Structure 1
């Protein structure tokens, strides 16, 4: 009894330290388990959420401060536990067995109440807990901030002393990846598909979104999702139904038609999801990253004036990467057909860049996206049957006109019967 009376102030201090350790352990688990969507919603959850968002802008500084405080608290806790254990050992009513039992109990207590329990609770509701603990955590970070540069320098010096021979790995070249694919399988068909996927990944890193998008004229647009008959009875034009704003100038939502169940047809508004907006000059790889980050399916492409020019879905991007043939139009026909040497048949919506690659020529296509637009700019009007234009070492002529677009013939300058065009 005398032993308990003697050490109870120390026990109270240990209890307080456990609470602080639990605070920092739980805050670490909550803040660093937030999903990208949770992080975007922090600014809408009050002052606590805004503080948490500000702390996460510098995660390395935040983590260093949390770990510093946790280490300091735990060291103080075990120092007090050692003092209490010594007092219990020398107390007549205690002894070695009591001291050992107390030490084990102290260790199990801090493991459970300051590590396991707070972290388990924090990951169950990370957004709510992050907003609660952000204000005191901000104070703790500010207090320890002057010491953080010293901690960083110490860590760097220690790592160089302990692992002096470690060197960062060089970036892997695409040739190395292709070589690894060749060595990884003997299946010729699988090897071909893996090569195709690799080629597709490289292409989207170099392709701008205006080359892959569906132009506005080929999108499936609607003004009212509640008009079920107009949607169901209308022509099926795409895997996504685009919802326009009241002014019918911009797409605001998209409905993945291929994923709909019969019950959804009575309430299409409930399955419509927001879209993202990207400039026409963005690379497809950047658009794919943004779609994944914001968990969206459709990106609306706008020009430099903010006007709607087209849209691209994540399905179309993945099809570009994985499909066995990329040069397909919406009719399923090859959009660039080589009729014979020096003579090609091209669908008008093919991008100027894609055709220039296929023809192995350099073209100034600034200001236009498609081959039809290229001819239209040269003739200063919408392409008509018989319109022509020069493109590098080739001569373009509109040879067929359909409701959906035009077919264009590309003839090399040295092709028999070709006529030069003068501007």
Structure 2
């Protein structure tokens, strides 16, 4: 028997073990590429992928331990693989010489690079959803096995980082003035510069604006009850971009259907096209609502008051439009929401944000927990605003001057002086 045959006869268990290690390394590398390359649409499909899809969704909900476990297992497998390769190389060198040992070592290195890194990751990004569903159960088991060790690994990484970079400090937050300066230096187009400044101002405003000011009131929503029929959409003009589905008691919105993204084939199964909504208080900031919509992958937030009653709704499309392409606030008949009728005299549409009016008047007061101008007058008079009702607002007085089925118009004028009030 030749020296190589004798070597292989003794070494085949180690060669088989190296093959198994390559397959395990390929599984972890492929699962990493598949799970962390999923798009938003892929994650929606993942939730409907049975047990494997639910496990994958749960793993992605906390990605840090998942990634740490994948890297830990890959490192352990690769170290074991190269240890076996070194043992085989030393045995082959003793029986067949340096050239054979060098060839074995180079082949082992190329094999693990190609079969456990390049090939599985290239395949994973082509079918990420299917691979994630298939590999989620064994991956969850692998995460559970090493979960007691992961805190120690995290602390060790933190300690090493502090040792190597003791003076590392986080950069300060970017100031708004710096962003405006960057915009000014980035373009010479005056019109584009103005639009960018407006968008930046609206973006910053989301951190101090309540969602009740940007929501679409309940009376302006397109509401329907289950079951949802095709004729509900086809036989009526489109009132908004979303069809809101009410509960059986018609007290709360439970689902929303994005009409602009519907495919013709989905018109026969509108229940399947409906997605869940989130619920937020009217006092929540727009920036907080936008973060929740992105985190939970939802399109519509239903706004409720402190009693849990439905006030309105806002979609992520409307928020982004308000930031990037704001339009002038108008009533249903296309008239401007705030118009100046004379010196210190204004006419305001009742559904206009009270905060917007306060800014227009240059006042520095709080809106006192209400959203609209009509709501402010109604709260002061303890009833729905009607013609003749008035309410003081700092040095101004608000008076309901016009009423129709769509709402009310309110005149804003300076409060009379003591002499004028006495006369």
So what's the TM-score if we normalise by structure 1?
A: 0.84
Secondary structure of residue in 1 paired with 2:248:
coil
Distance 1:36 1:262, change over 3 A: closer
Please name the residue that 1:10 is paired with. Answer: 14
Q: Given that residues 297 and 313 in structure 1 are in contact (C-alpha distance below 8 angstroms), is that contact kept between their aligned partners in structure 2?
A: yes
Residues 1:277 and 2:279 are matched in the alignment: yes
Counterpart-to-counterpart distance in 1, 2:305 and 2:325 = 28
Please name the residue that 1:67 is paired with. Answer: 71
Please name the residue that 1:369 is paired with. Answer: 371
Counterpart-to-counterpart distance in 2, 1:155 and 1:356 = 52
Please name the residue that 1:196 is paired with. Answer: 198
Please name the residue that 2:412 is paired with. Answer: 410
Superposition deviation, residue 260 in structure 1? 5.6
Please name the residue that 1:178 is paired with. Answer: 180
Q: In structure 2, which of residues 17, 23, 40 is the aligned counterpart of residue 19 of structure 1?
A: 23
Counterpart-to-counterpart distance in 1, 2:337 and 2:110 = 69
Secondary structure of residue in 2 paired with 1:6:
helix
Q: CA RMSD in A?
A: 3.3
So what's the TM-score if we normalise by structure 2?
A: 0.84
Distance 1:11 1:170, change over 3 A: same
Please name the residue that 1:129 is paired with. Answer: 134
Any unmatched runs of 5+ in structure 2?
A: none
Q: Deviation string for 1:57-81 (max 9, x for gaps)?
A: 6543443333233223212221221
Counterpart-to-counterpart distance in 2, 1:277 and 1:157 = 41
1:20-419 alignment, distance < 5 Å = 20-34=24-38, 56=60, 58-91=62-95, 94-123=96-125, 124=127, 125-142=130-147, 144-145=149-150, 148-149=151-152, 151-160=153-162, 162-163=164-165, 166-223=168-225, 225-226=228-229, 228=231, 232-234=234-236, 236-258=238-260, 268-269=270-271, 271-363=273-365, 365-413=367-415
Q: Deviation string for 1:194-241 (max 9, x for gaps)?
A: 00110110112211111111111122223363272x655545533333
Secondary structure of residue in 2 paired with 1:396:
strand
Q: Deviation string for 1:82-139 (max 9, x for gaps)?
A: 2211221221xx2333222211211122122322344345452243134321343134
Secondary structure of residue in 2 paired with 1:389:
strand
Counterpart-to-counterpart distance in 1, 2:49 and 2:268 = 33
Compare 303-312 and 243-252 and name the one that shifted more: 243-252
Count of aligned residue pairs for this structure pair = 414
Superposition deviation, residue 4 in structure 1? 1.2
Counterpart-to-counterpart distance in 2, 1:227 and 1:86 = 74
Superposition deviation, residue 284 in structure 1? 1.4
Distance 1:155 1:219, change over 3 A: closer
Secondary structure of residue in 2 paired with 1:305:
coil
Counterpart-to-counterpart distance in 1, 2:258 and 2:122 = 36
Q: Given that residues 332 and 406 in structure 2 are in contact (C-alpha distance below 8 angstroms), is that contact kept between their aligned partners in structure 1?
A: no
Counterpart-to-counterpart distance in 2, 1:364 and 1:193 = 29
Q: Given that residues 181 and 191 in structure 1 are in contact (C-alpha distance below 8 angstroms), is that contact kept between their aligned partners in structure 2?
A: yes
Counterpart-to-counterpart distance in 2, 1:265 and 1:114 = 45
Counterpart-to-counterpart distance in 2, 1:46 and 1:259 = 25
Secondary structure of residue in 2 paired with 1:205:
coil
Compare 289-298 and 169-178 and name the one that shifted more: 289-298
Counterpart-to-counterpart distance in 1, 2:100 and 2:416 = 101
Secondary structure of residue in 1 paired with 2:206:
helix
Distance 1:382 1:160, change over 3 A: closer
Secondary structure of residue in 2 paired with 1:374:
helix
Q: Given that residues 65 and 144 in structure 1 are in contact (C-alpha distance below 8 angstroms), is that contact kept between their aligned partners in structure 2?
A: no
Counterpart-to-counterpart distance in 1, 2:84 and 2:67 = 26
Counterpart-to-counterpart distance in 2, 1:418 and 1:81 = 100
